[in-house]
Amino acid sequence: MNAKKWLALFCGSALLGATACSGGGLMGSDEPAVSDSAQTRSNVTGEDGPFAKYDETVKLTLGRQGVSGNNLPDGDTLEDNEYLNYVEKRLNVEIGYDFSIEDLEAYNQKVTLAIVSNKIPDVMVVDEQQFQRLAKANMLADLTDVYEQYASPLIKEYYGSYTDDRVLETGRIDGKLYALPNTNIDGSYQLLWVRKDWLDNLDLQPPKTMDEVKSVVEAFMRDDPDGNGKDDTMGLLGDTAVVGDGGFFTFDPVFNAYHSYPGSWFKDDAGNIVYGSTTPETKQALGALRDLYAEGLIDKEFLTRKWEDNAGLVSSGRAGILFAPWFAGWAMSDAVKTDPNADWLPLAVPLDEAGKRNIVPSVPAGSFLVVNKQTEHPEAVLKILNTEYEGIRLLDPAAQELYKGQGVGWLNYPLNLQLDYQDSLARDIPIYDRALEDGNTEGLPERILPRVESVLKNAENPKRDIAAYADTLAYYTAAAVTGSKELNKVEPVFYGNTETMLKRGSNLEKLENETFLKIITGTAPLDEFDTFVTTWKSIGGDAVSKEVADIANNR
């Protein structure tokens, strides 16, 4: 199973705690630390408002991607289940499925056909290109005033938690709100995962700088860290993607330590908007990776390994150092099945010369909830979203009884739009801290209780229950690192696609990836980077750069 498939399965089953979902990005917790859920609720009575029930039934049509591997009980379907009925009865709305298609490619084809035929349902979730196309065709309802009047306090808190309105802004065109974006939470950047028991066996301290990381890799390869008397331990694992938000085994932290940000658009010290893959700092980082590979410190076979191969090296106890996000905790826990002494430590390193772990925040949003311009009651869509999230977050006691103990995925609610606080992972840490301190779960948010119980169970008998250990490693140990004071966010000035990106982006990306891999593995000289930059510019990079600058400078 590759990383994307593993992530898709995980996302389909959970949203009550921090989950690694949403367009390459993440989902997380839902409430301020140890808060009363009433603080985020809004019970409107009398006048129309975020939760007001209609006197007469309002009907809406919905088009959405289905749920792959759904675990609904027999007799229930995506189009008829307790979650859907809960929303409909609270609001007196009737939601009819225009279409629901599991396969993403087939779903996108259906959406495209609906756009071309000018027969879109009342509401659906689309990608960025589809959103822009619908907007240009004047097919979308203006949600500016509808959002202000009908979005619940919780929904507004989610969007408001993102600095500079960076998420909600992606749904605006010419100052008007035409879509509700999903939210990608902080934390999908790579941490350095290292076997602490191996560090202890070799009397080593956790590394901080790139030089210290290199020293640990050398020791793990050559000094028999597992003490089995065999030369069977690996160096740093790698992936042919080289870099990627939320990627496993990629080298993003190495680039970031040299102030290199491949794939991102940002302003340099002179105020110029540049593409991070083409900077001198990126050449320097490639040189460092090239040296590590030449010295055998990066897995010599990473070009041919699949995600499953790398995961197998971790679970078998051969690999003890790698880069991966916080939610890799579940994969790291597999090593304990082979060796009960395995003890993984996630770190926000390597640090740069100023003692900072530079990170690039995830793309703010990857999907967009849109409403047909012809819809008679666009505010009903906001009411549904409000009510749905009271259910998902278990803020309404009635929702706590829906499929209780059955683990039915939240995606069976009608609107598959993921929303959360930007810092949701770090927000939950005080909840776990308090529970560990006094062992009392009374008054904690209902949605987090299963995770708290896992942390408490693992604290009482460490690693005896692998599932509890895995939850602890991800939700608590690694998630706490996402709030580290050493983190330095480098905000891109542009996300998304331009016209030239859509036409030539695949060729530009292929050129970049192939060149980087050749340089790292030594099949091309380091100076091949300069040739890459020249070629990249000539085959579309300059045109893309101008488009990005025009957009960024006119905001």
Q: What are the tens digits of pLDDT across the range 484-509?
A: 999 999 999 998 888 999 899 999 99
Phi then psi for 496, rounded to 5 degrees? Answer: 105, -160
Name the amino acid, one letter, at 244: G
SS3 of residue 342 by DSSP: coil
Assigned token pair, 349: 């390193």
Distance, in Å, from the CA atom of 503 to the CA atom of 497, rounded to the nearest integer, reads: 10
pTM: 0.86
Q: Is the dihedral of CA 323, 328, 329, 330 positive or negative?
A: negative
Domains in the chain with CATH codes: 3-186+365-412 (3.40.190.10), 189-361+486-555 (3.40.190.10)
Phi then psi for 181, rounded to 5 degrees? Answer: -75, 155
Q: Angle at the Cα of 499 (from 498 to 503), degrees rounded to 5?
A: 115
The H-assigned helical ranges of 206-321 are: 210-222, 252-257, 280-294, 307-315
Q: What is the pLDDT of residue 555?
A: 67
CB-CB contact of 170 with 495 (8 Å): yes
Residues in the chain predicted with pLDDT less than 70, given as ranges, are 1-46, 555
Name the amino acid, one letter, at 45: T
Smallest CA-to-CA distance from 246 within 418, 425, 516, 21 is with 21
Rounded (10°) CA dihedral 303, 307, 310, 316: -150
The reply to whether omega before 350 is within 30° of 0 (cis) is yes
Q: CA of 345: how far to CAs of 226, 356, 396, 461, 480, in Å?
A: 16, 19, 37, 18, 12
Smallest CA-to-CA distance from 447 within 70, 7, 29 is with 29
Smallest CA-to-CA distance from 185 within 306, 283, 303, 325 is with 325
For residue 405, list its beta bridge partners.
none
Say which residue the tokens 């009980």 belong to.
73
Assigned token pair, 262: 């491949």
